[in-house]
A and B are shown apart, each in its own frame.
Chain A
Amino acid sequence: MNTFKTNLRGVYTIWYRDILRFWRDKARLFSSFAMPVLYLVIFGTGIASAFSAGEFDYISFMYPGIIGMVVIISAMFSGMTVVFDREFGFLKEVLVAPISRTSVVIGKVLGGATIATIQGLVMLVFIPFADVSITVGGGFMLVALMFMVALAITSMGLFIASRIRSMEAFQAMMQLLMFPLVFISPVMFPVETLPSWLGILVKLNPVSYGVDAMRQAVLGADASAMFGIELFGYRMPVILDAAVVVAFGLIMGALAIRSFRVQE
């Protein structure tokens, strides 16, 4: 019991440090926005003026995807703090502390996910631009989904960070992963109208389900029905989308914990 309390405190302390650093580092607050906002404003406007996507404006369609994109990018790069800490030595201070490696990983995952969710929330200032109206229920659902996606992707980032020694390699790896995770997904386009080879790739991407669920939360399940992912002829509801994300997160979390526990 005592050990449990100590570890819980460890989780909190590790989480708190990440949040503290985030607030001190104002530049980072904005760094994850630049690309997605450009996509939304420039790309969205350009596409919308050329084509129309049924009864929805393209920007409205794209907007929940862009929120997802912000959360994903921010969450992926939170693994960088581990690489950074290793390079500047602070990781040692964490690893010799009398708390379990599991609580270190949980603290880091919660920290990264909290930050990614906050960044996703900041994206809500674009509601007027995207011309959507989110219901209160949909709003809560969206926040919950952002946090779930953030947890899953942060876990993945941590797992990779635990295996990589240099900052450059980590960054390269993240760029390499980011492209397929973000673009082979329903962020920019609906799935079911895609040629089947691309449709299959999108459905293999766990991130797709997070984006699909967020779109349902923002646009409403009925309104987004025509863009949704179908699996075995069955239209995925939010709850099943979320289940896929959670399952992916649990696998990545378990891998990250295992990787951190291995001593030389």
Chain B
Amino acid sequence: MKNIIEVKHLYKKFGRFTAVNDVNFEVREGEIFGFLGPNGAGKTTTINILCTLMRPTKGRVILNGFDVVKKPNEVRKSVGLVFQDPSLDLKLTAMQNLQFHASVYDVPRDVAKRRIKKVLDMVELWDRRKDTVQTYSGGMRRRLEIARGLLHFPRVLFLDEPTLGLDPQTRSHIWDYILELRKRLNITVFLTTHYMDEANVADRIAIIDHGKIVALDTPDNLKRMVGGDVITMKTDNIEAAAVEIREKYGIEAHQVSDGISFEVQNGEEFIPTLVRDFKSGLQGISLHRPTLEDVFLKLTGREIREEAGGEGVMMKQFAMRQARGGKGFH
């Protein structure tokens, strides 16, 4: 299978801070490639380099056969982008936003007319085409951005946190569109997210942490790395509990938000013995099959959520949107 993106020894430094540190990967044509990691791990920086918004400090990126540094315009024609932050002109109508896009991407007028109809139908916004975007809800705006990203028939569609801040129903709608699109147009989708359930739709996932790729495989293979079942215990004395688990069973437990978590084989049968013998103040216990979250925890020793979707971050984003005049809702 042909590689649509090839990244070799990519570095990006901001002063003394290394945001992207020797990243290597390939994306195959037609696949959904997931890029997973907490905020600040280097996801957006990598995307910005791949779509020519930033220059790499070192390394080589080939996209659709073009070098991102030497042939930026060819690369730009090859990619469609849906950014983490909204990038629509709110004062213009949906139609005008799409016409602008078609025009700067050199889509001939008659072709553009047909395609605009097609993409707006696809995201169910054709009836609202003459309304200014500022009257749209967050979900509608995101759908419009996806429609716009597809207008010039890109080979690769970049989705940077495409459903961030949207309600679950809208999120699942948007995913239906994306999967449908891939089936119909056979485009490659490059996705970053920190919603683990979303990452599951990817054919392959790269897990990035502190600017480095720590694992790259299919979701199933990644989960297999965890081995067995995951048991999470709620306890008021986390350290004592971890010591007890280590001494009794020889298992290394990870610390999670209000307790510990560890992996065992045949978890259902393990739980009764564990609960009967446990001394360190057990408050609750649960068992689940490994998720990508557990993979991340195993690889980095940290929970992805506490950094990515924690309350502090949400509050900060909310405050930032407020500061932008309350119009930054998405």
List residues of chain A with CB under 8 Å of any chain B CB.
3, 6, 9-10, 12-14, 16-17, 20-21, 24-25, 85, 87-100, 263-264
- The answer, among A9, A87, A91, for a CB contact under 8 Å with B103, is A9
Identify B89's interface contact among A16, A21, A95, A100, CB under 8 A: A21
Cβ-defined contact, A9 with B104, below 8 A: yes
Residue of B nearest to A93 (CB): B87
Give complex CA distance A3, B76 in Å.
13
Is B106 on the interface with A (CB-CB < 8 A)? yes
Q: B83 near A: Cβ within 8 Å?
A: yes
Are A98 and B104 in contact (CB-based, < 8 A)?
Answer: yes
B85 adjacent to chain A (CB < 8 Å): yes
Which of B53, B76, B79, B87 lies in contact with A89, CB distance below 8 A? B87
| B106 x A92 contact (CB < 8 A) | no
Closest chain B residue to A262, Cβ basis? B55
- Cross-chain contact of A96 among B81, B90, B132, B327 (Cβ < 8 A): B81
By beta carbon, the residue of chain A nearest B106 is: A6
Complex contacts, A9 vs chain B, CB 8 Å: 103-104, 106
Q: Are A25 and B91 in contact (CB under 8 A)?
A: yes
Q: Please report the C-alpha to C-alpha distance between residue A95 and residue B104 in the assembled complex, in whole angstroms.
A: 11
Q: Complex formed: what's the CA distance from A94 to B103 in Å?
A: 11
Give the CA-CA distance A14 to B99 in the complex, in Å.
11
Given contacts A89-B86, A89-B88, A264-B55, contact A97 B327 (CB under 8 A): no
Of all chain A residues, the one with the shortest Cβ separation from B73 is A98
Identify the 4 closest CB pairs spanning chains A and B, nearest first: A89-B87, A98-B76, A97-B104, A13-B103
Q: Looking at the complex, which one of B55, B77, B103, B105 makes contact with A263 (CB distance below 8 Å)?
A: B55
Can you list 22 A-B pairs with a CB-CB distance of less than 8 A? A9-B103, A9-B104, A10-B103, A10-B104, A14-B104, A21-B89, A24-B132, A25-B91, A87-B324, A88-B89, A88-B324, A89-B87, A90-B88, A92-B53, A92-B87, A93-B101, A94-B104, A96-B53, A98-B104, A99-B73, A99-B104, A264-B54
Interface size (B, Cβ < 8 Å)? Answer: 32
A99: chain B residues within 8 A (beta carbon): 73, 104
Judged by DSSP, the binding face of A is: helix
| B96 proximal to A (CB < 8 A) | yes
Tell me the dominant secondary structure on chain B's binding face.
Answer: loop
Contacts of B73 in A (CB 8 A): 3, 98-100
Task: Tell me whether A17 and B92 are in contact (CB under 8 A).
Answer: yes
**Contact of B85 with A13 in the complex, beta carbons under 8 Å:** no
Task: Tell whether B100 is near chain A: CB-to-CB under 8 Å.
Answer: yes
Task: Give the residues in chain A near B103, CB-CB below 8 Å.
Answer: 9-10, 12-13, 16
Q: Which of A21, A87, A92 contacts B83 (CB 8 A)?
A: A92
A181 CA / B207 CA spacing, docked (Å): 55
Contact across chains for A96 and B76 when beta carbons are under 8 A apart = yes
Known: A17-B100, A88-B86, A263-B55. A97 touches B92 (CB 8 A): no
B54 CB to nearest A CB, Å = 5
Contacts of A264 in B (CB 8 A): 54-55
Q: Please give the distance in Å from A192's CB to the nearest CB on chain B.
A: 46
Q: How far is the CA of A90 from the CA of B144 in the complex (A)?
A: 13
Query: Taking the complex as formed, is B51 at the interface, i.e. its CB lies under 8 A from any CB of chain A?
Result: yes
Binding site for A on B (CB under 8 A): 51-55, 73-74, 76-77, 79, 81, 83, 85-92, 96, 100-101, 103-106, 132, 148, 324, 327-328
> Closest approach, in angstroms, between the C-beta of A168 and any C-beta of chain B?
11
The smallest beta-carbon distance between B161 and chain A, in angstroms, is 13
A97 touches B87 (CB 8 A): no
A-side contacts of B105, CB under 8 Å: 97-98
Beta-carbon contact of B91 and A24 below 8 Å: yes
Assembled-state Cα–Cα distance A94/B51 (Å): 13
Contacts A93-B87, A94-B104, A99-B73 supplied; 7 other A-B pairs, CB < 8 Å:
A13-B100, A13-B104, A24-B91, A90-B87, A93-B88, A93-B89, A93-B148
Known: A17-B100, A87-B324. A263 touches B87 (CB 8 A): no
Q: How far is the CB of B94 from chain A (nearest CB, A)?
A: 14
| Nearest CB in chain A: distance from B124 CB, A | 22
Closest to A5 in B: B106
CA distance A25 to B92 in the complex (A): 10
Report the Cα distance A168→B53, complex, angstroms: 25
- Chain B residues lying within 8 Å of A24, measured Cβ to Cβ, are 91-92, 132
Give chain B residues whose Cβ lies under 8 Å from the Cβ of A100.
73
Chain B residue with the shortest CB-CB distance to A13: B103
Which A residues are CB-close (under 8 A) to B52?
A: 96
CB distance from A116 to the nearest CB of B (A): 19
Chain A positions within 8 Å of B328 at CB level: 88
Residue of A nearest to B152 (CB): A98
Q: How far is the CA of A94 from the CA of B86 in the complex (A)?
A: 13
Give the nearest-CB partner of A264 in chain B. Answer: B54
What separation, in Å, do the CA atoms of A13 and B102 have in the docked complex? 10
Known: A3-B73, A96-B76, A263-B54. Is A90-B89 also a contact (CB below 8 A)? yes
Most buried by B among A14, A94, A97, A263: A97
Distance in angstroms from A120 CB to nearest chain B CB is 23
Q: CA separation between A226 and B77, bound complex, in Å?
A: 58
CB closest chain-B residue, reference A92:
B87
In the complex, what's the smallest C-beta–C-beta distance from A17 to chain B, in angstroms? 6
- Chain B positions within 8 Å of A91 at CB level: 87
* Complexed CA–CA distance, A24 and B324 (Å): 21
